[in-house]
Structure 1
Amino acid sequence: MYAWLNVGSLVLGLIAWILPIVNLMGMTKHWTAFSIMSLSACTISLVFQIYYNYHLVQIEDWAALMDTMGAVAGAATILLVVTLVLNAITLIVYRGRTVK
């Protein structure tokens, strides 16, 4: 069951990147909602990773923690930075536009 946290984290991370790209391609008029959903997906993705690491601590799987923490920290950083950059670009492109 806890392995699904990793799958969910990956799927939500991809959603966090896809939504601003959809915004930038002009496929939606509700760019603010898509940006909020993107940032929310990124946040939930990172929370899933925290819960998975908490599970590893509970079962005392120290080897798994030591083996994976570097990659998890790097992937979380990349996810957060890319999501923020994509949403910042969306904000710059759509600044001043309103939904009518």
Structure 2
Amino acid sequence: MIVWLNAGSLVLGLLAWTIPVVSFVKFRKNGLILAVMSMGACALSLSFQIFYHYHLVQIGDWSAIMDITGSTAFASAVLIIVTIFLNAVTLIRHRKGVAA
């Protein structure tokens, strides 16, 4: 069951990037709601990774923790930065009212 945390994290991370892109391309009127959904998917994705690390600590798999912590930290930073950037660009476009 714990393995699904990684798959869920990946799916939610991709969803966090897909929502603002679709909102940008389709120019939906509810851009703020979609931005909140995108940031929520990003937060849930990161939470899944935290829970996975917590599971590794509980079972004492220190070698796995040492192997994945650096790449997880890097991927988390990229996820946050890209999600914020995509949502900011989409919200700026919505604020200007430029229709596609």
TM-score, scaled to structure 2: 0.93
Q: Describe how 1:31-50 pairs up with structure 2 within 5 A.
A: 31-50=31-50
Q: Distance in 2 between matches of 1:38 and 1:46?
A: 13
- What stretches of structure 1 move > 3 A for 4+ residues in a row? none
Q: Structure 1's 88 and 27: CA in aligned 2 closer, same or farther, altered over 3 A?
A: closer
Q: Taking every aligned residue pair, what percent have the same amino acid on both sides?
A: 52
* Structural RMSD (CA): 1.0
Give the structure with the larger helix fraction: 2
Residue type of the alignment partner of 1:74 = F
- Which residue in 2 is equivalent to 1:62? 62
- Which residue in 2 is equivalent to 1:71? 71
Aligned pair count?
A: 97
What is the CA distance between 1:27 and its match in structure 2? 4.8
Structure 1: stretches of 5+ with no match in the other structure: none
Structure 2: stretches of 5+ with no match in the other structure: none
